[in-house]
């Protein structure tokens, strides 16, 4: 008997079927954006107690309806905001802050714990401008925290790790280091340079 070869199956339409599925998935799904700037809103408090804050400890940032910036009563470009905020936070005016490297200008903030950044915007301010300003202010805090993390980390056994890396490692289950010690370092940095960003309604 002669051997007969198996008949070939026509797979020409397979591509069509796959395309159909592909297009279905393209249409019904989205690539999700799931990252952003985390903020905590202040709770509404019943008791109206006025807290007296020295004017020099407040860094006022105003954003008007044309998206122009007014920082400490001076017009400023967005790209200079980060540097100005770092200088303000890092000033160390009363000398109680041992890790500050600022100019110790007596008319600027006392120490990072007392320094408050106050952000005020108009109703007509565009959201994108607002996010840019928020981003720059958070960046200013991160600059200082990263610098501090490199200093403390070297002493505590986490060399060459900035604050962002520390937080990432702390959350990462696969990271095999001493998490409790790392948590202490993160908490220390957070208390030394707290994020005090207030928004005026």
Partner 1 sequence: MSKFKKKKEGGLAPINTASLPDIVFMLLFFFMVATVMREDTLMIQNALPVANQIEKLDKKNPISYIYIGKPSANYKKFGTEARIQLNDKFADLGEVGTFINAERAALREELIPFLTVSLKVDKEANMGIVGDVKQELRKVNALKINYTTGSGDALTNK
Give the range of 31-39, 95-103, 145-153, 188-196 binding partner 1 by CB under 8 A: 31-39
Instruction: Say how far residue 88 (Cα) sits from the centre of its chain.
Output: 18
Taking CA atoms, 134 is separated from 31, 85, 167, in Å, by 25, 12, 20
Residue 31 binds partner 1 (CB under 8 A) = yes
Report in angstroms how near the CB of residue 66 gets to partner 1 at its nearest: 12
Report in angstroms how near the CB of residue 107 gets to partner 1 at its nearest: 28
Sheet architecture: strand order including 74-76: 74-76, 69-71, 58-63, 116-121, 197-200
DSSP 94-105: TS--TT--S---
Residue 73 binds partner 1 (CB under 8 A) = no
Is the CB of 44 or the CB of 51 nearer to partner 1?
Answer: 44
Contacting residue, 2, 7, 9, 38, with partner 1 by CB under 8 A = 38
Contacting residue, 60, 67, 76, 147, with partner 1 by CB under 8 A = 67
The answer to whether 91 touches 102, Cβ cutoff 8 Å, is yes
Report d(CA 123, CA 171) in Å as an integer: 37
Give the range of 24-32, 48-56, 101-109, 176-184 binding partner 1 by CB under 8 A: 24-32
């Amino acid at each position: 008997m002669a051997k007969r070869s198996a008949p070939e199956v026509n797979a020409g339409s397979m591509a069509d079927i796959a395309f159909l599925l592909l297009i279905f998935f393209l249409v019904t799904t989205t690539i999700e954006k799931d990252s952003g700037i985390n903020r905590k809103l202040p709770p509404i408090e019943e008791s109206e107690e006025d807290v007296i804050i020295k004017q020099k400890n407040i860094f006022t940032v105003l954003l008007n309806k044309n998206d122009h910036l007014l920082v400490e009563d001076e017009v400023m470009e967005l790209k200079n905001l980060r540097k100005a905020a770092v200088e303000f936070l890092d000033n160390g005016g009363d000398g109680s802050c041992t890790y500050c490297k600022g100019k110790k200008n007596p008319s600027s903030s006392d120490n990072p714990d007392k320094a408050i950044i106050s952000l005020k915007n108009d109703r007509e301010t565009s959201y994108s401008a607002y996010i840019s300003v928020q981003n720059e202010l958070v960046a200013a805090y991160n600059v200082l925290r990263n610098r501090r993390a490199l200093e403390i980390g070297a002493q505590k056994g986490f060399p060459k790790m900035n604050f962002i890396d520390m937080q990432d490692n702390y959350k990462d289950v696969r990271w095999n280091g001493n998490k409790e010690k790392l948590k202490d370092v993160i908490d220390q940095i957070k208390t030394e340079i707290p994020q005090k960003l207030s928004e005026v309604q």
